[in-house]
């Protein structure tokens, strides 16, 4: 069984992080484990992701080990990926030239019986790249952050087939974030939790109708001052942006053919920032379309409408903080088998965000990201890869705009 641990949104913005670390987790059919290693050289023309560029040559070393344990009623998949990144220019500047990342993914699927199935997954990341820290949602920050920044995403789901026509799914999600630098730790350290109850009606053999409710809670744990209330003169602390939100939605999934499948959810979210006496209402949407058009060739496009955290907190003249961003994400990817040994991929991502509250209320930020990669397999164990990544970020908040270009060339071995 193959599992996808990170969304295509993360793939689109991975920067110099190894794209192979975000691919499908699968091991060889003849053994329960596999080991992979990648060595790459790269040039990053803006590794600080700032308006004034700082470029550097460098190299990446990334070993990975995967485990697949199919049991009688349970399947357990696990994967650990380590990344070491060396930046020559930082050493010339007398700075620490080494960054390190860690990613551990775990998936457990247990079928109690044909009608009752339990899934559990966890993704623990120590990283610097915004896409790896964001996981499967919209990115709270688009900057590359030095240090041991920690993100953990845990999910638990229980699916019950009550009848042939009706099923329910109950899900719990927990997201934990901690940033090394205080400038990001104070406004962004948090724990997000959600409970999702969804009903699914198997309307036709190829069409399912669904409806659901999501209860979400966010608790900011930065324990610092994020602004000063212009009216009272009192400091505003991290937990001022705590919220409770309620989302209701309806949707459907449809199998157009054996090769083309799509799903859509749409609804509305109400968020209560109870410590700030503020609230907001905004749309919720999640759409995806998957197309397999040949052996080893497939494409995906999607759209996500959601809210997310932001490092921007500056209060307005009435003392109200920026509580969050309302974000729209459009993404797409094409993976094409050019020949039996040569494969190419193109990944694109666009994130448009509007600030809610604070000095920059109703102003916006945009993040464009494109990744191109080609892989040539010499044999089943050894391959070469080359690629290019481009990022452009612009914001109405002064000083945040940047562009970034990364090219890389490397080899991978797997056993």
Per-residue pLDDT reduced to its tens digit, 306-355: 999 999 998 888 888 999 999 999 999 999 999 999 999 999 999 999 99
Residue 28 has pLDDT above 70, yes or no: no
Rounded to the nearest 10 degrees, how much is the dihedral formed by the CA atoms of 125, 131, 137, 139?
A: 110
Residue 211 has pLDDT above 90, yes or no: yes
Q: How many angstroms separate the CA atoms of 260 and 267, rounded?
A: 24
pLDDT at 75 over 60: yes
Token representation of residue 49: 């992701």
Which is higher by pLDDT, 242 or 146?
Answer: 242
Which pLDDT does position 132 carry in this prediction? 78
Report how far residue 345's alpha carbon sits from residue 278's, in angstroms, rounded to the nearest whole number: 44
Task: Enumerate domains of the chain plus CATH numbers.
Answer: 8-32+69-74+107-414 (2.40.160)
| Residue whose C-alpha is closest to residue 184's, from 115, 232, 128, 132 | 128
pLDDT for position 3: 43
Q: What is the pLDDT of residues 156-178, one digit of tens each?
A: 999 999 999 999 999 999 999 99
Q: What is the pLDDT of residue 277?
A: 85
| Model pLDDT, residue 14 | 41
Residues 256-313: tens digit of each pLDDT: 999 999 999 999 999 999 998 889 999 999 999 999 999 999 999 999 999 999 999 9
CB-CB neighbours of 1 under 10 Å: 10
Residue 136 pLDDT: 64
Residue whose C-alpha is closest to residue 84's, from 100, 107, 65: 100
pTM, to two decimals: 0.88
C-alpha distances (whole Å) from 24 to each of 4, 15, 27, 276, 415 are 5, 18, 10, 42, 16
Are 355 and 310 a contacting pair, CB within 8 Å? yes
Backbone angles phi, psi at 240, to 5 degrees: -65, -20
């Amino acid at each position: 069984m193959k599992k996808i641990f990170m969304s295509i949104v993360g793939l689109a913005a991975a920067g110099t992080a190894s794209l192979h670390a975000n691919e499908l987790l699968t091991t060889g059919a003849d053994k329960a484990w596999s080991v992979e290693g990648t060595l790459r050289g790269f040039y990053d023309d803006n590794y600080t992701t700032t308006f004034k560029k700082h470029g550097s040559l460098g190299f990446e070393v990334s070993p990975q080990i995967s485990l697949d344990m199919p049991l009688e009623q349970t399947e357990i998949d696990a994967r650990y990926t380590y990344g070491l990144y060396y930046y020559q220019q930082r050493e010339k500047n007398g700075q620490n030239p080494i960054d390190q990342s860690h990613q551990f993914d775990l998936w457990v699927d247990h079928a109690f019986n044909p009608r009752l199935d339990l899934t559990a997954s966890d993704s623990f990341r120590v990283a610097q790249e915004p896409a790896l820290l964001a996981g499967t949602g919209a990115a709270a920050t688009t900057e590359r952050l030095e240090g041991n920044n920690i993100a953990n995403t845990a999910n638990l789901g229980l699916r019950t087939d009550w009848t042939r026509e009706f099923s329910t799914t109950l899900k719990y999600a927990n997201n934990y974030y901690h940033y090394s630098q205080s400038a990001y730790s104070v406004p962004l350290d948090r724990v997000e939790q959600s409970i999702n109850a969804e009903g699914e009606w198997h309307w036709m053999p190829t069409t399912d109708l669904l409806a659901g409710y999501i209860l979400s809670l966010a608790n900011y744990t930065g324990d610092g001052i994020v602004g000063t209330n212009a009216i009272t003169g009192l400091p505003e602390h991290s937990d001022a942006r705590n919220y409770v939100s309620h989302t209701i939605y309806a949707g459907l999934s449809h199998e157009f053919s054996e090769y083309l499948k799509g799903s859509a959810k749409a609804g509305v979210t109400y968020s209560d920032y109870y410590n700030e006496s503020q609230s907001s209402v905004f749309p919720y949407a999640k759409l995806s379309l998957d197309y397999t058009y040949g052996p080893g060739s497939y494409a995906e496009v999607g759209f996500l409408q959601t809210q997310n955290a932001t490092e921007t907190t500056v209060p307005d003249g009435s003392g109200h903080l920026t509580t969050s961003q309302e974000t729209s994400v459009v993404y797409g990817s094409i993976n094409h088998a050019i020949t039996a040994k040569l494969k190419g991929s193109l990944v694109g991502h666009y994130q448009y965000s509007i600030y809610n509250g604070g000095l920059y209320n109703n102003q916006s930020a945009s993040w464009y990201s494109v990744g191109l990669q080609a892989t040539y397999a010499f044999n089943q164990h050894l391959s070469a890869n080359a690629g290019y990544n481009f990022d452009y970020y612009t914001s109405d908040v002064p000083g945040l705009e940047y562009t970034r270009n990364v090219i890389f060339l490397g080899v991978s071995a797997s056993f």
